[in-house]
């Protein structure tokens, strides 16, 4: 799957297959995140900068599918192997976002960022930023093998079936 996706990225415009970006990990340490490139080259210097909205013209045709299915995230398995990330945890964010955190929100830096997490199964990018951060903090405060199993079980539904049904009526910490 990764090879086919990489080929699609390369064939679309001939640019690099991988996108590398500095993100903030555990304890506020920077690391280089890997993703399949889903936008035109130099997209962060065009248009909305780092902000990406649905329908953003900088997203390539192949990138739309890769983003919708999160296949663009597969290279982050290398980040997991390297120890920069884990399978489950808050999604890694950019430095400028971390600089805006409140003291409470900084709690999300107490764990390694993950490929999937509590916020991803409760709405992913459809949720307002503050709600996603709050879900991440809730995860940090309540993480356990049981919660991690829930996240693993619900991730495919969030990826392929939209979002977890509980997200539509607001999340409940016990979910």
User: Measured between alpha carbons, how far is 34 from 32 in angstroms, rounded to an integer?
Assistant: 7
Q: What is the pLDDT of residue 173?
A: 41
Stated pTM of the model: 0.82
Domains of the chain: which residue ranges?
1-84, 86-175
CB atoms within 10 A of CB 59: 18
Res 45 pLDDT > 50: yes
Res 166 pLDDT > 90: no
Q: What is the pLDDT of residue 146?
A: 97
The number of angstroms, rounded, from the C-alpha of 83 to the middle of its chain's C-alpha atoms is 17
107-161 residue pLDDT tens = 999 999 999 999 999 987 788 889 999 999 999 999 999 999 999 999 988 877 6
- Identify which has the larger pLDDT, 174 or 143: 143
Q: What is the pLDDT of residue 54?
A: 62
The SS3 of residue 35 is strand
Instruction: Please report the DSSP string for 71-128 in residue order.
Output: GGGTTHHHHHHHTS-EEESPPPB-HHHHTT--TTGGGGGGS--EEE-HHHHTTGGGS-
Q: What is the pLDDT of residue 67?
A: 86
82-98 residue pLDDT tens = 999 999 999 999 999 99
Can you tell me which residue has the tokens 């992913």? 124
The number of angstroms, rounded, from the C-alpha of 143 to the middle of its chain's C-alpha atoms is 18
Express as a percent the part of the chain with pLDDT over 70: 86
Res 5 pLDDT > 50: yes
Res 48 pLDDT > 60: no
Q: What is the pLDDT of residue 81?
A: 98
Res 13 pLDDT > 50: yes
* Least-confidence region, from 28-32, 125-129, 155-159, 170-174: 170-174
């Amino acid at each position: 799957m990764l090879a086919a996706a990489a080929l699609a990225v390369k064939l679309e415009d001939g640019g690099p297959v991988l996108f590398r970006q500095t993100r903030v990990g555990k304890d506020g340490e920077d690391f280089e995140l890997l993703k399949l490139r889903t936008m035109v080259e130099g997209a962060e210097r065009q248009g909305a900068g780092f902000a990406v909205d649905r329908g953003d013209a900088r997203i390539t045709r192949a990138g739309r599918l890769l983003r919708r299915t999160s296949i663009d995230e597969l290279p982050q398995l290398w980040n997991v192997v390297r120890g920069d990330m884990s399978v489950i945890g808050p999604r890694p964010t950019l430095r400028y976002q971390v600089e805006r955190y409140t003291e409470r929100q900084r709690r999300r830096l107490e764990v390694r960022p993950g490929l999937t997490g509590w916020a991803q199964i409760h709405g992913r990018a459809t949720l307002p930023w503050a709600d996603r951060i709050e879900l991440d903090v809730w995860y940090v405060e309540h993480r356990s093998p049981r919660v991690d199993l829930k996240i693993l079980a619900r991730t495919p539904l969030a990826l392929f079936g939209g979002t977890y049904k509980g997200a539509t009526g607001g999340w409940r910490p016990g979910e």
